[in-house]
Chains A and B, each alone.
Chain A
Amino acid sequence: MARLFDELGERLLRAGVAPRHVRRYLRELGDHLADLRAEEEHAGKSRADAESAALARLGEMEDLARAMMEQSHLQSWSARAPWAMCGLAPLFVLAAAWFVALFILWSGWQIFKPEATSPFGGGPHYGFANIYFQAGKAIYFGAPYFVGWGIGWMAARQRLKVLWPILGLALVALAAGTAQVHASRTGAYGGAYPVSMSFALGSSIPAFLANIQDVAVILTFTALPYLIWRLRQARSLSS
């Protein structure tokens, strides 16, 4: 019976039904089956007979799956718009994380190093200033990995076709591997401390080649858990 439910769950996920609806459906079917079994046993059937009668009353797997798949509004967003969930949304999340990191850099520069010409270098930081700058750094460098692992987790959970997560991971790695932060005290803003960000991608071939290693490292580390999961999944399905 557990195998039947596992198969049903797998089939629904592959059909794009949102995982929360699949989980709830399987839980309710399990409860319903227990009620049916109890009813059949109460009517005098043996445990084995009650079990098979209950399963027959619950419905064929084909019908149970089709009934759920016909409810198109129970589909997950990643099944409806995988390009948005794997491509656009991760880039937005990455941009938001970088915005926070750059804000920390800019505010830390103003608060803790008002005389320095750059927030980078200029001697070690101590105490709270050190924690403040390190937090910003952790967000900046950690965000691409967490966003990438998030893409892999979502793709695994919702059984997406491999194309979409790989595309999303490549975009994140490309953005993260080529991103550069610039900070200067003087400039168009007069006395203000502008902090800006640029991407080397497309600026020149040498710049791209210089960053390709970073892109490859980020892509490898973010894609690895997902690819391992897919391999294990393929093995368990074939066995």
Chain B
Amino acid sequence: MGRETNSNFMNGVPELLILKLLGQGDMYGYEIVQAIRNRTGEAIAVGEGVVYPVLHGLEQDGALTSRRKMVNGRSRVYYMVTPAGLRRFAERAQAWTDLSSAIQKVLTGG
């Protein structure tokens, strides 16, 4: 997949990836974006700044919490996933898996 991404199709994907990554450890925005780039082989490439509204939205919903931490003399906002966030991830991941297998079925002519 190139850098052009279908925004409608991508709805909910950043949220899913963020919840997955934060389930493995606390991160700040830049780290999250780099992790997404690296783990998807740069297949998902959006403006890096747009990750923050998703983070703020998830925090507002209680799926994440944040705290400011000084790292190497710089203040960073670290995000952590909450139990509600983990539940939300499980639901979204299941929905994504179902959708993906349905599409796969169509593509392989099943």
User: Which A residues fall within an 8 A CB radius of B?
Assistant: 21, 24-25, 28-29, 31-32, 35-36, 57-60, 63-64, 67-68, 70-71, 73-74
Residue of B nearest to A57 (CB): B48
13 contacts between A and B (CB under 8 A): A24-B56, A25-B53, A28-B29, A31-B29, A32-B29, A59-B49, A60-B47, A63-B47, A64-B49, A67-B49, A67-B54, A68-B52, A74-B57
Bound complex: CA A58 to CA B45 (Å): 11
CB distance from A202 to the nearest CB of B (A): 43
Q: Which residues of A contact B53 (CB under 8 A)?
A: 25, 67-68, 70-71, 74
Q: B48–A71 contact, CB under 8 A? A: no
**A58 is contacted by which of B49, B61, B75, B77 (Cβ under 8 Å)?**
B49
Least CB distance, B31 to chain A, in whole angstroms: 9
The yes or no answer to B67 lying at the interface (CB within 8 A) is no
Q: Are A67 and B50 in contact (CB under 8 A)?
A: yes
Q: How far is the CB of A103 from chain B (nearest CB, A)?
A: 38
Q: How many A-B residue pairs have CB under 8 A?
A: 67
B contacts with A, residue count (CB < 8 A) = 20
Whether A35 lies near B30 (C-beta < 8 A) is: yes
**Which chain B residue has the least Cβ–Cβ distance from A29?**
B49
Report if A71-B47 is in contact (Cβ < 8 Å); known contacts: A28-B29, A31-B74, A32-B30. Answer: no
- Docked Cα-Cα span, A57 to B34, in Å, equals 12
- Mark B residues whose CB is within 8 Å of A: 28-30, 33, 46-50, 52-54, 56-57, 60-61, 74-77
Q: Nearest 9 A-B pairs (CB), nearest first?
A: A59-B47, A67-B50, A71-B57, A67-B53, A35-B30, A68-B53, A59-B49, A58-B49, A63-B47
Q: Which residue of A lies closest to B30 (CB)?
A: A35
Given contacts A25-B53, A28-B29, A74-B53, whether A36 and B60 have CB atoms under 8 Å apart is: no
Complex Cα–Cα for A64 and B46 (A):
10
Write the nearest CB–CB distance from A84 to chain B, whole angstroms.
Answer: 20
Task: Check B77–A28 contact: CB distance below 8 A.
Answer: yes
B48 touches A58 (CB 8 A): yes
Q: Are the C-beta atoms of A64 and B30 separated by less than 8 Å?
A: no
Q: With A and B bound together, what is the CA distance between A25 and B30 in angstroms? A: 13
Distance (Å) between the CB of A201 and the closest chain B CB?
Answer: 41
Q: How far is the CA of A31 from the CA of B76 in the complex (A)?
A: 8
Q: What is the bound-complex CA distance between A64 and B50, given in angstroms?
A: 6
Note all chain B residues with C-beta closer than 8 A to A74: 53, 56-57, 60
